[in-house]
Amino acid sequence: MERVYRKRRNNRQIPEDEIITLENVTKSYSTGAPALNGVNLHIKRGEFVFIVGDSGSGKSTLIKLLLRELVPTDGEITVLGYNLRRIKHRKIPKFRRNLGIVFQDFRLLKDRNVYENVAFAQRIVQVPGSQIKRNVPSILATVNLAGKYKNKISQLSGGEQQRVALARALVNKPAILLADEPTGNLDPNNSWEIMKLMEQINENGTTVIVVTHNREIVNAMKKRVITMKKGVIIEDEEEGMYIDED
């Protein structure tokens, strides 16, 4: 099939279906070796990608670069057509509204209930109140929390809290879901439940990128696996495995 190309840059055409592009990306901090060193990465729309590697391999730096929390020292990052090296500060919020983000520590607003935590994400993107009242119960039903919308965050288990975080990340229908160690604080059952939800979300068209240490899940799900070590990608395989380097 003939491929559709979006634009030409650095003598390379970015295919229309490529949603994330990293070209020779280096990120150095003031001291020590670069956290990322000349990384090239291409992720297509609708992919499910695991990013694995030991601590200090550059996974967190990669996520922060994709969120435009950090700016690369060298190289180009393009996400959904936004050049994250050149994007203006005032345009960052608009860019981030295309992303859903899930953290290991959930990062929920503990002084608000389940409904308010999810509705909060819609308020930020200025969705009308009447629409919020329809969208929030619907997304809470997707993550099996419809009956707990009035609960305080402190009344939920770890797995339930992560599902609220997932609902908050998804309620704005992001093109990309970034999950940074989403099962890091969960027991195996809850971990699987979260991963199943992510797979379901991916099947509905959302690109899912999961940074994880969970070998069992990575090896069982048979998805694309990108392995990082000391700031470089050492392996990138479809239906890959998380191989123990030691």
Partner 1 sequence: MRISSFFYTIGQGFKNLGRNKWYTLASVATISACLFLFGIFYSIITNFQNVVKTAEEGVSVTVFFNEGTSEEEILAVKSDLEKRSEVREIDYVSADAAWEGFKEEYLGEYADGFTENPLADSANLQIYLNDVSMQQALVTYIESITLVREVNRSEVTATTLSGINKLIAYVSAGIILILLLVSIFLISNTVTMGISVRKDEINIMKYIGATDFFVRAPFVVEGILIGIIGSLIPLVIIYFVYTHAIEYVISKFTVLSSLLKFLPVGVIFNKLTPISLIIGIGIGFFGSFVTVRRHLHV
Residues that bind partner 1 (CB under 8 A): 67, 69, 90, 93-97, 99, 101, 107, 109, 111-112, 120-121, 123-126, 128-129, 168, 172
**Residue corresponding to tokens 């060193």:** 37
Rounded least distance, CB 7 to partner 1, Å: 24
Spatial contact of 41 and 226, defined as CB atoms under 8 Å apart: yes
Which contacts of 119-123 are long-range, i.e. CB under 8 A and separated by 24 or more positions? 120/168, 121/168, 121/169, 121/171, 121/172, 122/171, 122/172
What is the closest distance, in whole angstroms, from the C-beta atom of residue 242 to partner 1 in the complex? 26
Sheet holding 82-83, edge to edge: 36-44, 18-27, 74-79, 82-83
Q: Which is nearer to partner 1, 14 or 211 (CB)?
A: 211
Q: Measured from the CB of residue 93, what is the shortest distance to partner 1 in angstroms?
A: 5
CA–CA distance, 50 with 45 (Å, rounded to integer): 15
Is residue 133 classed as helix, strand or coil in its secondary structure? Answer: helix
Nearest distance, CB of residue 10 and partner 1, angstroms:
28
Spatial contact of 39 and 75, defined as CB atoms under 8 Å apart: yes
Nearer to partner 1, 18 or 120 (CB): 120
Residue number, 59 or 96, with CB nearest to partner 1? 96
Looking at the Cβ atoms of 11 and 126, the one nearer to partner 1 is 126
Q: Could you tell me if residue 218 is left (phi over 0), alpha (psi between -120 and 50 degrees) or otherwise beta? A: alpha
Q: Which is nearer to partner 1, 111 or 245 (CB)?
A: 111
Nearer to partner 1, 14 or 156 (CB): 156
Phi–psi pair at 189, nearest 5 degrees: -60, -50
Cβ 216 to partner 1 shortest distance, Å: 28
**Cβ at position 173, least distance to partner 1 in Å:** 12
90 phi, psi to nearest 5 deg: -70, -15
